[in-house]
Amino acid sequence: MTGASGAQPGRGDPGRPEHVPAVSVCVPLYMKERFVARTVQSVLDQTFGDFELVVVHNASPDRSGEVVRSFDDSRIRVVDNAETVPGPENVARAVGLARAPLVKILAADDVLYPTVLARQVAALADPGVAVVSCRQHMIDEDDRVLYPDRSLRHGDLVGRRDRRTVVRRVVRHTGNPLGAYANLMFRRADYEAIGGVPADAPWIAHDLALTLALLQRGDFVGLDETLVGFRIGSGSSSAAQSSEGIADQVGFTRRLRRDERADLRASDLVASHLRMPLMRVRHRLIVAAAGPRDDTRTRVARQVLGLSRPHA
């Protein structure tokens, strides 16, 4: 299996040891043998080619690491953990290995669409911007679009926004309206300055906690374009959103309301309290929708969420 080859716009000469790429795409890898080839190929297919792909193989007992090593592309760097570590620690290790000034974290079963790096690098050309995000399709195990154009569904998250505006929307939403790791790009220097993901962030809100922390360093830019695919399926990260995860999300929102009280309005708090029961129901439906396709519970959940008919 081979990746992209030949000169590409913005690629420079990444084969030279002294070359520092513009972007590091960091993939924490564990038990994704079925999907990781599609993830890797989606990175290699970018129109912006000046990147490195850093994969940290978390001592997975399947063939995940072997699949990644089957790609012949000098931009790919695979590092093996001697033993399996917790997911958050593996994410930190992957980002810690990044050499580029700009970083994108990518789950090993999600996919990038061809122009996402180019569009987000352009947005981060403004030094006052700390984080850029985009919309995503929710896709099934066969890459079919089940739930199109998700995240950044509110007008106050599109375009350039300050931290207060973003925090108010997150509190009102009670979940993550900003996008998962695949949606985001940020500066490595800012990540290091804030000390990475806040230590008290629950796994379910890891991406959201990092985004809000990074916004202490600059503004948010939301692109009203769908540039990534977020996979839901029985083996995907969405399937890990258990009852415990939902409770963690609720706790995260409550702490955010407390910690950011000075920047919130009474209407934000009212909206948050009213929406929280709906958030719990929706998370449970997403968990159910990630089950086997022929399961009755899965079919019902997908119908309720509007996922029953794949989109072209």
The per-residue pLDDT for range 66-106, each reduced to its tens digit, is 999 999 999 999 999 999 999 999 999 999 999 999 999 99
Q: Is 240 helix (H, G, I), strand (E, B) or coil?
A: helix
> Could you give the CA distance from residue 262 to residue 43 in angstroms, rounded to a whole number?
41
| The pLDDT of residue 13 is above 70 | no
The model carries a pTM of: 0.88
For the chain, how many residues are written?
A: 312
To the nearest 10°, report the CA torsion of 67, 245, 171, 181. -10
Mean per-residue pLDDT for 151-167?
98
* Cα gap 133→181, rounded to integer Å: 9
More confident residue, 79 or 241: 79
CB of 111 closer than 8 Å to CB of 229: yes
Say if CB 165 and CB 263 are below 8 A apart: no
User: What's the pLDDT tens digit per position in 107-147?
Assistant: 999 999 999 999 999 999 999 999 999 999 999 888 988 88
* Residue 6: pLDDT over 70: no
Q: Is the pLDDT of residue 1 over 60?
A: no
Categorize the per-residue pLDDT at 305 as very low, low, confident or very high, splitting at 50, 70 and 90: confident
Q: Using the CB atoms, write b or e for 256-288: b if 16+ within 10 Å.
A: bbeebeeebeeebeebbeebeeebbebbebbbb
Domains assigned to the chain: 18-109 (3.90.550.10), 110-180+189-311 (no CATH)
Q: What is the residue type of 5?
A: S
What tens digit of pLDDT does each residue of 242-258 get?
A: 667 788 999 999 999 99
Res 207: pLDDT? 98
What is the dihedral sign for C-alpha 237, 197, 131, 40? negative
* Region at 283 (left for phi over 0; alpha for psi -120 to 50; beta for the rest): alpha
Per-residue pLDDT band for 37 (boundaries 50, 70, 90) equals very high
> How far apart are the C-alpha atoms of 264 and 246, rounded to whole Å?
23
